[in-house]
Amino acid sequence: MLAAAPPAAAQTPLSVAVGTTPTGRPLPGGFVGVSLEYGALHLYTGRDPRAVDPALVGLLRGLAPGQAPVIRIGGDSADFTWWPTRGAIPPPGVRYAITPGWLRTTQALAADTGGRLIMGLNLAGHRPALATAEARAFLQGIGRRYVHEFEPGNEPDLYGAIPWFRDRRGKLHYARSRSYGLSSYISEFSRWRAALPSLPLAGPALASLTWLAGLSEFLAAEPRVNLVTVHRYPLLAGVSDPTAPNYPSLANLLSDRAASGLAQQVAPYAAAAHARGLGFRVDEINSAAHSGQPGLSNTFASALWVLDTLFNLAAAGVDGVNVHSLPGAAYELFTFSRPRGAWEAFVHPEYYGMLMFGRAFPPGAELLPVTAPAGPLKAWATRGTDGHTRVVLINKDPAVAYPVELQVPGAAAASLEWLEAPSLAATAGVTLGEQTFGAASTGGTLPAPDTQPVAAAGGAYTVQVPPASAVLLTQ
């Protein structure tokens, strides 16, 4: 058998230089969180509030060590859900009922993780009373300590375009008419706000950017909104035209459009929110809309994509990001099972990229300017409150290794930590700091990373970045 050929290597080292003056704002705590659906939560937590899945708890804590992880519960299911009250009949599009057991388990998850919850409320159902009953149940059953915002509705800009439910005769029904627009939404949001218990609100939870042209109008009408929320997916599962920019391919996922382009789209709206003293959060994001694309969303490419995208969103002024996970979806972050009664987790590649971001960009750290050539190798640098400088090099090229001459001010002894997998298309075998969750993690935590020492020569480090990999240098 012939040995595999070594990867090609660029002959001339790439020059990457890190500056000294921080750019942007310190990273808020809880920047990286998750977004989960109502009906799927028990598949992750289990149904016993006295014994919430410890692997899930460990994985959520791992994204925000020493912080309060931000957990958004909503998505499509926000508009399919209700809290049953005596004498009430749910609208025909509602098909999931919150129970006292669900509340107890969710409260236990929040307590075990120290989480801050953004709770989606039903807007599609036309009844403010429906959302009010949910909100009161959340405050009573979970508590104000953990419930930080209510988010009425999910992607209302699609209410007139995507069916809400199908009746027994097979007829499709929409949550609103095709003429439903921003002004109608603002009017409805105001009605819901007036009926809801006193708690800050998040919104408008939009799927596209079209309505954001009227963001100032929305915010002027809604004094209780303290968090502006939008959703972003660079690609769309099911697109069949390979020339379409949102066609779900590895090349498109690793393109600048899917990372820096996505962040640049939301940057002006983050600035507008900050000008009013409000937060701005992309509280639903992943690689490809409509549950992701198999062979793309579940591969190592998604880890490199999310790592680069999180840096780009932080640079764009976004205050936080919630990566969406749904059991059975191609973009699921983790899959849980209970063989022999004990919880086990299979951790998908994308989570490793989120974990590396957290190590490279701890809360309170600031971005440092980086000068690097254009191309598939991306470079980011931060300076933490602990005085450490951290540099991430991401090689999105599937075949070429890049030697990098990395100039960092005050170059001294440093360490290297690698994010690697067998290939971009790998769905398993991912390692971070030479550690892996393997096929079955019971605690949801990685052992301490194995790092490689590296010394500076002539004020620069020389780092060889293999194809389809990332490396974190800590000085």
* Span 223-241, pLDDT tens digits: 999 999 999 999 999 999 9
Instruction: Classify the C-alpha dihedral 34-182-152-220 as positive or negative.
Output: positive
pLDDT at 10: 67
Q: Write out pLDDT tens, residues 419-441.
A: 999 999 999 999 999 999 998 88
Over 90: is that where the pLDDT of 314 sits?
A: yes
Q: What is the pLDDT of residues 1-18, one digit of tens each?
A: 334 445 676 679 999 999
pTM of the model: 0.96
**Percent of the residues in the chain that have a pLDDT greater than 70, as a whole number:** 98
Confidence check: pLDDT of 23 > 70: yes
Q: What is the pLDDT of residue 211?
A: 98
Q: Provide, rounded to the nearest whole percent, the portion of the chain with pLDDT above 90.
A: 94
Stretch among 26-30, 166-170, 282-286 having the lowest mean pLDDT: 166-170
The letter for the amino acid at 126 is H
Radius of gyration of the chain (CA): 23
Residue 4: per-residue pLDDT: 46
Backbone angles phi, psi at 284, to 5 degrees: -155, 120
In terms of C-beta density within 10 A (0-12 exposed, 13-18 middle, 19 or more buried), how is residue 174 classed? middle
Q: What element of type H or E holds 58?
A: helix 54-63
- pLDDT at residue 7, rounded to an integer: 67
Residue from 466, 271, 432 nearest 357 by CA:
432
- Residue range 323-353, pLDDT digits in tens: 999 999 999 999 999 988 899 999 999 999 9
- For the cut 80, the answer to whether the pLDDT of residue 290 exceeds it is yes
pLDDT given at position 411? 82
Is the model's pLDDT at 469 over the cut of 60? yes
User: Does the pLDDT value for residue 399 go beyond 70?
Assistant: yes
Q: What is the mean pLDDT of residues 33-57?
A: 97
Residue 62: the pLDDT is: 98
Average pLDDT, the chain: 96
- Would you state the pLDDT for residue 59? 98
Q: Domains in the chain, ordered, with CATH?
A: 10-22+364-474 (2.60.40.1180), 32-360 (3.20.20.80)
pLDDT tens digit sequence for 346-361: 999 999 999 999 999 9
The 3-state secondary structure of 238-283 reads CCCCCCCCCCCCHHHHCCCHHHHHHHHHHHHHHHHHHHCCCEEEEE
Do residues 421 and 247 make contact, with C-beta atoms less than 8 angstroms apart? no
